[in-house]
């Protein structure tokens, strides 16, 4: 009687799109594996960081001990030299300022004015120092987009192979 009761406890549910369910499970498993790999790399970087910090700490302790020994060897002197205070100075017009904040405000005057983003020049005018050839914007942006589209197409082909 116990076997009959166990047999009645099980029931099955039909899956409407088994291929899509399988595909989504495989994709989530792949993402999980990538996540776990990144986590392992992070853990190894963390342990390496801790080891480097411990090594640095021991070296700093050694340096402090050596500095104490060095100070004991030198004669004591009461004369201290004071270095002149350097005022912040503008690199463009050589004006000096009392504080760094005043220099930052002054440097805003030297910044070039922003060009309206709606106007996009077809080519950039060359400087006098450059060759007279027309300088055109690089097409690296489009190259990266093409590579991404190629990768996307290959992934889609692989997913179609599952269907």
Query: What is the helix (H) or strand (E) element at residue 88, kind and residue range?
Result: none
Residue 144 is assigned to a structural domain of this protein: no
- Is there a single domain that holds both residue 20 and residue 70? yes
User: pLDDT averaged over the chain?
Assistant: 77
Residue 108 is assigned to a structural domain of this protein: yes
pLDDT of residue 91: 78
Residue 37 is assigned to a structural domain of this protein: yes
**In the chain, how many domains are there?**
2
Confidence class for position 78, pLDDT limits 50, 70, 90: confident
- Is there a single domain that holds both residue 66 and residue 96? no
Residue 160 is assigned to a structural domain of this protein: no
Say how far apart CA 23 and CA 159 lie, in whole Å.
8
pLDDT of residue 125: 53
36, HSE (Cβ side, Cα atoms, 13 Å): 6
pLDDT of residue 70: 92
Confidence class for position 55, pLDDT limits 50, 70, 90: very high
Q: What is the pTM of this model?
A: 0.36
pLDDT of residue 76: 77
Contact 126, 134 (CB under 8 A): yes
Residue 67 is assigned to a structural domain of this protein: yes
Residue 54 is assigned to a structural domain of this protein: yes
- Is there a single domain that holds both residue 97 and residue 51? no
Domain, as residue range, for 46: 16-74
Say how far apart CA 74 and CA 69 lie, in whole Å.
9
Say how far apart CA 155 and CA 27 lie, in whole Å.
11
- Is there a single domain that holds both residue 66 and residue 103? no
Q: Dihedrals φ, ψ of 96, to 5°? A: -105, 150
Contact 85, 91 (CB under 8 A): no
pLDDT tens-digit map of 96-137: 888 888 888 888 887 766 655 555 555 555 555 554 444 444
């Amino acid at each position: 009687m116990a076997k009959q009761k166990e047999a009645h406890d099980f029931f099955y549910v039909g899956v409407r799109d088994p291929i899509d369910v399988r595909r989504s499970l495989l994709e989530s498993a792949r993402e999980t594996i990538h996540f776990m790999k990144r986590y392992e790399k992070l853990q190894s970087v963390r342990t390496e960081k801790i080891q480097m910090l411990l090594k640095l700490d021991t070296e700093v302790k050694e340096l402090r001990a050596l500095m104490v020994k060095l100070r004991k060897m030198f004669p004591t002197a009461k004369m201290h030299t004071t270095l002149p205070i350097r005022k912040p100075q503008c690199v463009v017009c050589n004006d000096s300022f009392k504080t760094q904040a005043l220099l930052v405000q002054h440097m805003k005057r030297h910044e070039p004015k922003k060009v309206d983003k709606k106007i996009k020049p077809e080519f950039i005018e060359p400087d006098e120092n450059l060759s007279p050839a027309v300088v055109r914007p690089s097409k690296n942006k489009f190259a990266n987009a093409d590579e991404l589209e190629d990768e996307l197409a290959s992934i889609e082909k692989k997913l179609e192979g599952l269907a």
